[in-house]
Structure 1
Amino acid sequence: MAPPAPDLQAFFEQMKAEGGIIVEELPKLDLELYIQNYEGRTRFDRLITIGKCCVPLCVEALKAAVHEAKRGDDVSRYKEACYSLRLAAPSEEESKLDEEWIKNKEVSNKRETARLESELRRYKNNLIKESIRMGHEDLGHHLEETGHLKEAAEAYSRMRHDVGTTKHIMDCAQRLISVALQRRDWTSVLSNVGKIGGTQGADDVKVMQPYTKIVQGIGQMGLGKYKEAAQSFLQADSGTPANTFNDIATPNDVAVYGGLLALATMDREDLQNRVLENLAFRSFLEHEPHVRKAISHFINGRYTACLSLLRDHEADYLLDIYLQKHVRHLFSQIRRKCIVQYFVPFSCVTLESLEQAFATDGKPIEPELISMIRDGSLNARINSESKLLVAVISDARLEMQQNALEMANRYTEEAKERLRRVNLISAGLAVQAPKTGGPDEAWFDTEEGPSAGAT
């Protein structure tokens, strides 16, 4: 691939300095087909992320982000996209701000905000709860569309005081989840998912189940709770029409999220039973067959093939708005699992064979093995002279003796505490609970000893 233009190179140096993730490889996704799968505000989020991270697709994605922003009402997003494009490719026509559009849109946004606030005040004066709820909802939706996410969350929160049905409660929670996802407020996401789960009736379970599980999984992944997130994605019901929640994630995304998280946190048996043999999740995996193949490779002990397949799609994963920050950590966990499982059948393995199976980019594997041994994930030692990784065989008899000694020590300490308690009570130094005649009545109600009723 040819080196990027000077402007583009300077742009990505700035993005890297700001802590951004830079992808220099050409991803497998087709940008136009990829973005067609989404709807709503997530389309812009994904385009601007690709534009700021992917060197080969930068200009194309930023130009698409400019057009997407002009289709909406959020002026700040349009300015952000134009500013980024102007840094990356100043000669592009889309990089020039449309001042007239900005002025007209800001005026119309202010006018619409004033109108909705006036209507809401009128509804409050009339004391009609349903109208007040709808007024808060309309105002919150307008504020969300114009990019005032904090104010939108406050407006949606005020809807709760006037909800009248279960559907209203769920609508309110969904609105708050939408804003929380955009603000990356994962705690709020999980909190509102809990509210939906606590209010839905039997008729709503089938419709809302995929939504709640997918959103819950995204929130848990955002907080680094990978095992819980994997379980949430694997429980999502694929029977709901695919385009129902495309403003959040597509079935392809669910397959990737669930598959990678499961690979990083589950053993062979769970991967087989809860992923590959999971009829509901299998429908998601059909959209991303490489994820299913990678899991099959791991289960069948083909670890090099599993890691190679994941590396081939790493660039695509690094461009996902929710998965991006977790890819490197998940890949590291999966790689460590592969090394541990590869070593399990052997008492010793040459470092050369491990290099052939797992070395990447010419980097030696020995420092990684040392790190795994130190943190306890690999029970082995390295023979530097013979260049061998030798398993540390545990002494079952020694372990049994140590467990017996620990149990005896715990028993001794517990017996001492019980005797100390008895002596305190006998000496009248313990504070007695008042007699209630109930089951909590103290055994010792006099200084002389147990009460008459005690046995």
Structure 2
Amino acid sequence: MADQHLLAYFTAMDNQGGVIVKDAPKFDLEMYVANYKGRTRFDRLLLIGQCSVPLCIDALKAAIAEARRGKDVQRYRDAWECIRMAAPDEPEARWDEAWVTATEKENKSETQRLEAELKGYKNNLVKESIRIGHRDLGEHLESIGSLNQAADTYIKMRPDASTQSHILEVGKHVISIMLQKRDWAGVLANASKALTGNLAGEEHTVEQPYQKVVCGLAHLGSAKYYDAARCFLEVGDPSICQQHNDIASTNDIATYGGLLALASMDRVELQSRVLDNPSFRNFLEVESHIRKAVSMFVNGRYSSCLDILESYRNDYLLDIHLQKHVAPLYSQIRNKCIIQYFLPFSCVTLDSLNTAFAKPGESLQDELISMIKSGVLNARINTIDKLLVAVSVDARVAMQTEGLLAAQNYEKEAIERLRRMSLAAANLEVKVPPKAAGSRLDGSMGPLPGVGEIWLDEARRNENSVDTTMTS
């Protein structure tokens, strides 16, 4: 009976376009969630409960418990709706009306109290008290799930922010709201405004990991994989990043940085920015499979690299930031491996490619055709001999093209020289005065005047001479 409810639940999720992961991931759910704090814990638990068949019930139970520890009634309702369909016989599937009523009443009372305090602070005209009042009200609104009102309240702190630390605090609060709303452009704008322009020296060094993490997540959400990879690779010390596990954990930074670098960087950059990067090497220690995958690619063992990544696909599909990008990232990495494997050869048998990259019993031909059509792979397929043949550049055509370009450049330069000679013969050129470069005709120093200024000075001198003659 329980299996029937679970089947109906995931069938409904599949019809809604959700991602369904049937196999168990490699991580332990309790240890995975223990890496996070704040509101992201519930988001990750709910995502696992909606996508992972083996971990569905446990994740939804943990999401219910996490929601009840907070004050956001809507989050409890979302988790309850899921577990009610997936496991209606579980104790957590019973609606707790008493808790909901008490929490809503308490939230309303707390909101009114904070608004009254803020109104009193505004009447007293104490800037610091007004700033703290806006901060407390914003944090409360964020905790109960009113993200838009919380963002407006945080923004009202800016006129009363008198120090760099206050401006930084406002920026972090606003960025937290933007991350939850998946407003990636807003994240980048606020990170640039609050973190880059107002910090200097040691304070900038301390806040750099936070800036790199939020900018990396924003670029990842916008599918700018190269920019995101550079941000994650430049995060810095892992011990500092543990302070920001309400956004992402150290394991996430290692996974995001390595995977995005594999998809967007060449072999030289992978060696210098990932493997030889002393600061990012510390991150790779917590996710050793990412380091192995990058090393396999750099060393030309492409099939082993793809096998490692494929074994962790289920883990990445259950990541709140990475889920939507797993398919394009894996496709880009796979295309790079095929291209690098084929690059040293003029032709390769399709059987060898199938052995290296295709699943047992499947052919790589359709994938190669799509790569050729999209322009990713410069080759053609010989279906008779079952070969992938590189399209070589015709040396004769290349030489003729280069010669034609040289002739066109020579013709253009000859025309310009003839025009210069004609101007000199007609005495239309402006000659440089015999004095040193950088001095004017009147002896003053400065940049040389243009042609119009020379004519204007000459006209003024003629006018002055005429006035002098008339006066005499």
TM-score if structure 1 supplies the norm length? 0.89
Q: After alignment, is 166-175 or 366-375 more displaced?
A: 366-375
Tell me the equivalent position of 1:184.
182
Report the more deviating stretch, 390-399 or 52-61. 390-399
Cα contact 1:210–1:240 (8 A) shared by 2: no
Paired residue type of 1:234: L
1:15 matched residue in structure 2 = 13
Aligned runs of 1:257-336 on 2, under 5 Å? Answer: 257-336=256-335
Counterparts of 1:101-140 in structure 2 under 5 Å?
101-140=99-138
Structure 2 CA distance for aligned equivalents of residues 84 and 380 of structure 1: 49
1:189 to 1:253, Cα distance in 2 relative to 1, 3 A: same
Matched, 1:201 2:214: no
What do the CA deviations read for 1:417-444 (whole angstroms, capped 9, x no partner)? 9x9xxxxxxxxxxxxxxxxxx9898756
> What SS class does the counterpart of residue 242 from structure 2 fall into?
coil
CA contact (8 A) 2:254 2:284 kept: yes
Displacement, 1:110? 0.5
Structure 2 residue corresponding to 1:155, chosen from 148, 153, 159: 153
CA distance in 2, matches of 1:52, 1:406: 61
Moved more, 240-249 or 72-81: 240-249
1:322/1:412 CA distance change after superposition, 3 Å:
farther
Task: Confirm or deny: 8 A CA contact 1:44 1:68 kept in the other structure.
Answer: yes
Q: Partner residue of 1:90? A: 88
In the alignment, which residue of structure 2 is the partner of 1:59?
Answer: 57
Task: Write the mapping of 1:245-256 to structure 2, written as runs, cut at 5 A.
Answer: 245-256=244-255
Cα distance in 2 between the residues matched to 1:411 and 1:93: 86
Please tell me whether the aligned partners of residues 350 and 365 of structure 2 are also in contact (alpha carbons under 8 angstroms): yes
Structure 1 residue 407, shift from structure 2 partner: 7.0
Inter-partner Cα distance in structure 1 for 2:336 and 2:258: 15
CA contact (8 A) 2:209 2:240 kept: no
Deviation at 1:164, TM superposition (A): 0.5
Match in the other structure for 1:390: 389
Q: How far does residue 397 in structure 1 lie from its aligned partner after superposition?
A: 4.9
Give 1:325 deviation, angstroms.
0.6
Closer, same or farther: CA 201–378 of 1 in aligned 2, 3 Å: same
- Which residue of 2 is the match for residue 402 of structure 1? 401
| Matched residue type, 1:48 | L
Residues 129-138 or 104-113, more deviating: 129-138
User: Equivalents in 2 of 1:193, 1:150: separation in Å?
Assistant: 19
Indicate how the Cα distance of structure 1 residues 397 and 279 shifts in structure 2: closer, same or farther if over 3 A, else same: farther
> Judging changes above 3 Å, is the alpha-carbon distance between structure 1 residues 411 and 242 closer, same or farther for their aligned structure 2 residues?
same
The correspondence for 1:72, drawn from 56, 60, 70, is: 70
Identity %: 53
Supply the AA of the counterpart residue of 2:261. Answer: A
Q: 1:88-126 deviations in whole A, cap 9, x for unaligned? A: 111111011100000000000001111111111111111
Find out whether 1:231 has 2:245 as its counterpart: no
Query: How far apart are 1:408 and its partner, in Å?
Result: 6.2
1:269 corresponds to which letter in structure 2?
Answer: V
Question: What SS does the corresponding residue of 2:81 show, helix, strand or coil?
Answer: helix
Residues 412 and 210 (structure 1), Cα distance of their counterparts in 2 relative to 1, 3 Å cut:
farther
Q: CA deviation at 1:445?
A: 8.7
1:328 CA displacement: 0.8
Classify 1:125/1:361 alpha carbon distance in 2 versus 1 (closer, same or farther; 3 Å).
Answer: farther
SS of the aligned residue for 1:243 comes to helix
Deviations 1:350-379 (A, max 9, x none): 111111111136442111111111122111
Aligned-pair distance for 1:287? 0.3
* Counterpart in the other structure of 1:435: none
Match for 1:88: what amino acid? Answer: A
- Aligned-partner SS, 1:125: helix
- Please state how far the C-alpha of 1:215 moved relative to its aligned partner: 1.0
Closer, same or farther: CA 326–404 of 1 in aligned 2, 3 Å: farther
Look up the match of 1:367: 366
In the alignment, is the contact (CA less than 8 A) between 2:118 and 2:133 conserved in 1? yes
Partners in 2 of 1:146 and 1:62 — Cα distance?
Answer: 20
Please state how far the C-alpha of 1:149 moved relative to its aligned partner. Answer: 0.8
Q: Mapping of 1:341-352 within 5 angstroms?
A: 341-352=340-351
| Rounded Cα–Cα distance in structure 2 between residues aligned with 1:96 and 1:178 | 32
Deviation per residue, 1:221-272 (Å, 9 max, x gap) = 1001100100001111125445211101111100000000000011111111
2:155 aligned partner, one-letter code: S
Amino acid aligned to 2:62: A
Between stretches 392-401 and 407-416, larger displacement belongs to: 407-416
Q: Helix, strand or coil for the counterpart of 1:20?
A: coil
| 2:18 alignment partner, SS class | coil
Separation in 1, partners of 2:226, 2:122: 46
Counterpart CA distance in 2 for 1:190 and 1:413 is: 47
Q: Is the contact between residue 21 and residue 53 of structure 1 (CA under 8 Å) also seen in structure 2?
A: yes
Residues 1:139 and 1:383: Cα distance change in structure 2 (over 3 Å):
same
CA gap of 1:406–1:115, structure 2 versus 1, over 3 A, is farther
Contact map agreement 2:164 2:198 (CA 8 A) in 1 = yes
Q: What TM-score do the two structures reach when normalised by structure 2?
A: 0.86
1:381 match: secondary structure: strand
Deviations 1:376-422 (A, max 9, x none): 211111111111000111134533543554576689899999x9xxx
SS at match of 2:24: coil
Q: Which amino acid aligns with 1:9?
A: L
Note if contact 1:4-1:55 (Cα within 8 Å) is conserved in structure 2. no
Shift of 1:14: 1.5
CA contact (8 A) 1:207 1:240 kept: no
- The amino acid of 2:352's aligned partner reads S
Structure 1: distance between partners of 2:360 and 2:85: 32
| 2:6 partner letter | L
Q: Are the equivalent residues in 1 in contact too, given 2:209–2:241 (CA < 8 A)?
A: no
Which residue matches 1:433?
Answer: none
CA distance in 1, matches of 2:23, 2:291: 23
Query: Match for residue 356 of structure 2?
Result: 357
Write the distance in 1 (CA, Å) between the matches of 2:415 and 2:152: 57
Match of 1:144 among 142, 145, 151: 142
Measured at CA, do residues 157 and 393 of structure 1 come closer, stay the same or move farther in structure 2, by a change above 3 Å? same
Q: What residue number does 1:50 align with?
A: 48
Q: CA RMSD in A?
A: 2.7
| Amino acid of the structure 2 residue aligned with 1:182 | Q
